[in-house]
């Protein structure tokens, strides 16, 4: 159902498989069926995760898998109730997304320009930072994605949903410069060692690490998702609204986009400090 009806990504399917396998093993050890456990049994399973030292965030992910599983059983008539509906979600610690400053992004791009594989590194980083795309979306781009005027990219995101994102002049020029380095066109904008296949996440992670080192940044602070957070944070800081940002990031629910409201709060504080008559100290 997750694959056929929801078009879930490969990594999502792997995560659900692992979580439900763990639940199935727990149920078997308790002498029960995974499809027949009651709410008390589910609470016992979540408690066992805490006993094993798993974080609240991991427990919440397992609970999400259990809820989807039991909704499926209910819809298919395997069960007449949904015991997962009686469970409370674990309290998650509030963590702000990690992102780079605009100066640090400039340093990262400068570092990319110093690499042997500069055309690849610059094009990938420019596109990531200009669009806020997920790394899986960037690496799955085909060379023909830049056909026409190259002003926008059509992206297939999570759940097989398509969205359009505008491409900056710098990102478009970097991508075209990358294509110009090739003797013959290939399928992928960012091919791997085997040109018939796209670059892997591991291959891109190495390029990103080298660019960070060359730019004088700590590689531990730099990742594709940090660049996605940087895009979102910088857009809001410069006046973008949450709804537009939701569309650009491909979030199904604006609640997901609201993790960036810390940037809005900072902007509003600066706005009040700069323009409110009583904020000027008298």
Question: Is-catalytic flag, 134?
Answer: yes
The residues of the chain that CATH labels 1.10.443.10 are 102-270
**The predicted structure's pLDDT at residue 82:** 93
pLDDT digits (tens, 9 = 90+) for 117-144: 999 999 999 999 999 888 988 998 988 8
**The predicted structure's pLDDT at residue 77:** 93
Query: Which residue among the candidates 158, 209, 262, 267 is catalytic per the annotation?
Result: 158
144/122 Cα distance (integer angstroms): 19
Topology (CATH level 3) of domain 10-86: DNA polymerase; domain 1 (1.10.150)
Residue 176 pLDDT exceeds 60: yes
Question: Is-catalytic flag, 158?
Answer: yes
pLDDT digits (tens, 9 = 90+) for 15-53: 999 999 999 999 999 999 999 999 999 999 999 998 898
Question: Is-catalytic flag, 172?
Answer: no
Question: Is-catalytic flag, 229?
Answer: no
Residue 282 pLDDT exceeds 60: no
Just give the CATH number of 102-270. 1.10.443.10
pLDDT digits (tens, 9 = 90+) for 258-273: 777 766 666 667 777 7
The residues of the chain that CATH labels 1.10.150.130 are 10-86
How many other CB atoms sit within 10 Å of the CB of residue 241? Answer: 10
Asked whether the whole model's pTM tops 0.85, one would answer no
Question: Is-catalytic flag, 142?
Answer: no
Residue 96 pLDDT exceeds 80: no
Give start and end residues of each alpha helix (H) in the chain.
Answer: 10-29, 39-51, 56-75, 102-113, 118-131, 135-139, 169-180, 201-214, 224-237, 242-249, 254-257, 261-275
């Amino acid at each position: 159902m997750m694959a056929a009806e929801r078009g879930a990504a490969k990594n999502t399917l792997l995560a659900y498989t692992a979580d439900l396998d763990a639940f199935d093993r727990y149920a078997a050890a308790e002498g029960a069926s995974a499809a027949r456990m009651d709410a008390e049994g589910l609470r016992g399973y979540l408690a066992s995760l805490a006993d094993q030292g798993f974080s609240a965030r991991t427990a919440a992910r397992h609970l999400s898998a259990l809820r989807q599983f039991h909704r499926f059983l209910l819809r298919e008539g395997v069960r007449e109730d949904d015991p997962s509906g009686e469970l409370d979600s674990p309290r998650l610690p509030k963590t702000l997304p990690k992102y780079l400053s605009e100066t640090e992004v400039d340093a990262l791009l400068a570092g990319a320009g110093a690499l042997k594989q500069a055309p690849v590194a610059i094009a990938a980083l420019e596109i990531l930072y200009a669009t806020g795309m997920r790394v899986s979306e960037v690496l799955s781009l085909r060379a023909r994605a830049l056909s026409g005027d190259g002003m926008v990219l059509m992206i297939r995101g999570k759940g097989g949903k398509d969205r359009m994102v505008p491409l900056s002049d710098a990102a478009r020029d970097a991508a075209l410069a990358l294509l110009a380095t090739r003797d013959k066109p290939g399928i992928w904008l960012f091919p791997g060692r085997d040109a018939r296949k796209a670059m892997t996440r591991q291959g891109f992670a190495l390029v990103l690490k080298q660019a960070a080192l060359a730019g004088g940044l700590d590689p531990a602070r730099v990742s594709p998702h940090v660049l996605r957070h940087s895009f979102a944070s910088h857009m809001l800081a410069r006046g973008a609204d949450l709804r537009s940002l939701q569309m650009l990031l491909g979030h199904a629910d604006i609640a997901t986009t609201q993790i960036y409201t810390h940037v809005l709060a900072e902007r509003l504080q600066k706005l009040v400090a700069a323009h409110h008559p009583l904020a000027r100290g008298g």
